[in-house]
Structure 1
Amino acid sequence: MDESELDARHAEKMRRKKEVRDKILAAKTIEKGLLIVHTGKGKGKSTAAFGMVMRAVGHGLPVGVVQFIKGRMETGEKVVLDRFADLVTVRRMGEGFTWETQDRQRDIAAACAAWDIAREMITSGRYRMVLLDELNIVLRYDYLPLAEVVTFLREARPADVHVIVTGRNAKDELIEIADLVTEMTQVKHPFRSGVKPQPGVEF
């Protein structure tokens, strides 16, 4: 088979594929706010979520971000998003990783304060997307009542608001009510080879 025959065969195959794809897309008519969960042991959960935030900003959608664990450390995403203060509100409510604070009551207080802000953002009518960065971590350590969080996200979230939840070890109850769940799987990570976290990659 020569190149022209291969090209013709490929064009026909793609034409048929497009017909099938167009038919599938035409049947998808629901538009709604999604509950999105990024979990798993692999890197990329917050990274992917911030990519969605950037995409929303590109469409002119107002976004709220609540960071449950990350503290005052300067991150690349915060620097970028500060340039879009008319569309994005970022609240860094954490005091660093739990092994840094070493104070359970302080971590619980920080988680509760962050959750209050998260609920206000979600129900305020001001935001079309709200990122709850590393909420899964505070749920894992029982810093917030899981049943309360799940009930709120299932019943009180406005129909047109997207909510993204990140962090390892997402609870089964949260996964159950989510519309979209992605699990990041670690295959390789430079940290295991002695490479320290680097700007632009880790933060």
Structure 2
Amino acid sequence: MSDDDRHAAKMAKKKAARDKIMATKTDEKGLVIVHTGKGKGKSSAAFGMIFRCIAHDMRSAVVQFIKGGMSTGERDLILGRFSDICAFHTMGEGFTWETQDRSRDTEMAAAAWEKAKELIRDQENRMVLLDEINIALRYEYIDVADVIAFLAEEKPPMTHVVLTGRNAHPDVIEAADLVTEMELVKHPFRSGIKAQIGVEY
């Protein structure tokens, strides 16, 4: 038997096994998705899913919990071209080390959570991205038990909710359907290279 024949036989066997597994995957539901970890790409991956929803004409929404008014490519693109299908709410006033005002940060996070609940309850929104909510939960600006209970009890069955940010709370990880941890292997910031347009924002 030639190498090509052996490869074809191996791939046919793999395809048969894969098809058998796939035939058992018939359920569909709205997922709770968590992107966490120290590596870059948590929000970037989440916005990738938002743009997939936009491409499929599925209504979606974004609530940014921490990031402030700085212009970003994803926000400018959505507001400029897709605001009819994707609501975008920047509710934070910047990273916590910039604001240095816990009471104000708590107030802003509470307002962001109220907006998030409103958007999630709207069954027309197939995906809602809660960008950097894990940071707000870590600093206890909002109650993790409240977030978990809301997602369990009030999230419509077919709505996807994505939670991003470092140090996701263990209870959030436990409640989620899909969790990805971005691992930091190497980052140019450590070599003195600043955040760059098109890469970080």
TM-score, normalization: structure 2?
A: 0.97
Asked if residue 128 in structure 1 is aligned to residue 121 in structure 2, the reply is no
Q: What is the identity, as a one-letter code, of the residue corresponding to 1:45?
A: K
2:17 aligned residue (15, 20, 31)? 20
1:106 aligned residue (104, 107, 130)? 104
Q: What is the identity, as a one-letter code, of the residue corresponding to 2:167?
A: N
Runs (4 or more) in structure 1 with deviation over 2 Å come to: none
Q: What is the identity, as a one-letter code, of the residue corresponding to 1:43?
A: K
SS at match of 1:9: helix
Aligned position for 2:160: 162
SS at match of 2:115: helix
Aligned position for 1:96: 94
State which drifts further: 53-62 or 65-74.
53-62
Counterparts of 1:1-203 in structure 2, within 5 Å, are 5-82=2-79, 83-203=81-201
Measure, in 2, the Cα distance between the counterparts of 1:122 and 1:58. 20
Measure, in 1, the Cα distance between the counterparts of 2:19 and 2:179. 25
State which drifts further: 47-56 or 5-14.
5-14
1:23 Cα deviation from its structure 2 partner: 1.0
The total of aligned residue pairs comes to 200
Measure, in 1, the Cα distance between the counterparts of 2:41 and 2:23. 32
Residue by residue over 1:47-99, the C-alpha shift from the partner in whole angstroms, topping out at 9 and shown as x without a partner, is 11011111111111111100001111110111222211221111000100001
Give aligned-pair identity as a percent. 61
